[in-house]
Amino acid sequence: DAKTTQPTSMDCAEGRAANLPCNHSTISGNEYVYWYRQIHSQGPQYIIHGLKNNETNEMASLIITEDRKSSTLILPHATLRDTAVYYCIVRVYSGGGADGLTFGKGTHLIIQP
Amino acid sequence: NAGVTQTPKFRVLKTGQSMTLLCAQDMNHEYMYWYRQDPGMGLRLIHYSVGEGTTAKGEVPDGYNVSRLKKQNFLLGLESAAPSQTSVYFCASRSELSGAYGAKNIQYFGAGTRLSVL
């Protein structure tokens, strides 16, 4: 799996858009970009994923650069409940279930009131 | 719909004691996983299962055993607990209906078990 690089921490004001960057310069053509988050003392929660097109769901938007070497997770109107550690994961589907996710240290996003 | 349920939520063991952590999912998922998370670190895969009656080793399997006797349950056992196994343990599951190239490789996690080994 390609390695990912994320900032250790970020602050964002409540109600503003939170933009979380992720660098994955060694990503290969069949690797997807997944985003999960982990709120304090809870299990990780899936947010969104994409291959090369931008994606949007009810939680967030994912912007992937044309060369796919980086991406940005956007939380459009951050709330205090969005304070969490956000993980960017690059993963190829290997089949056979041997696809445990590799979590790095992620970005600790703190939403300020 | 409960999703993924882990029991117990907390446990304190003495070195050398044994225990079993239970993970139950009600989503009829084929694949199940056990991870551990240490302070300030991401999750690391211990063992996983691709279906009832199957298990396989992950990144950090030493000191743990697992069993998948029923599709909905995945058990993680510590035969002789050590202080190095103090951690938060997370179970996850996902459907085998993943589509091509991981299009729906989405894992659902339980709330975790906090284990301290003294």
pLDDT in tens, B42-98: 899 999 998 999 999 999 999 999 999 999 999 999 999 999 999 999 999 987 665
Beta strands in chain B (DSSP E): 4-7, 10-13, 19-25, 31-37, 43-49, 56-57, 65-67, 73-78, 87-94, 108-109, 113-117
Number of C-beta neighbours around residue B118 at 10 A: 10
Give pLDDT, residue A97.
55
State the pLDDT confidence band at B112, using cuts at 50, 70 and 90: very high
Contact at CB, B109 and A91, closer than 8 angstroms: no
Retrieve residue A23's tokens.
């660098």
Assess contact for A49 and A32: CB atoms under 8 A: yes
Give pLDDT, residue B101.
47
| pLDDT tens, residue by residue, A40-85 | 989 999 999 998 889 999 999 999 999 999 999 999 999 999 999 9
Mean pLDDT value across chain B: 90
Cα separation, B39 vs A68, in Å, equals: 31
Q: How large a percentage of chain B has pLDDT more than 70?
A: 91
Q: What is the residue type of A39?
A: I
Contact at CB, A32 and B103, closer than 8 angstroms: yes
Cα separation, A86 vs A49, in Å, equals: 13
Whether the pLDDT of residue A113 is over 60: the answer is: yes
Q: Which residue has the higher pLDDT, B35 or B105?
A: B35
Assess contact for A69 and B78: CB atoms under 8 A: no
State the pLDDT confidence band at A16, using cuts at 50, 70 and 90: very high
Retrieve residue B12's tokens.
């304190």
Give Cα separations from B90 to B15, B20, B22, B71 (angstroms): 21, 13, 10, 18
Give pLDDT, residue B98.
57
Give pLDDT, residue B40.
78
DSSP A53: S
Give pLDDT, residue B2.
72
| Interface residue ranges in chain B relative to chain A, Cβ cutoff 8 Å | 4, 30-31, 33, 35, 37, 40-45, 48-51, 56, 58-59, 90, 92, 96, 98, 100-103, 105-112
Give pLDDT, residue B95.
78
Retrieve residue B57's tokens.
């080793």
Mean pLDDT value across chain A: 91
Whether the pLDDT of residue A28 is over 90: the answer is: no
State the pLDDT confidence band at B1, using cuts at 50, 70 and 90: low
Cα separation, B75 vs B78, in Å, equals: 10
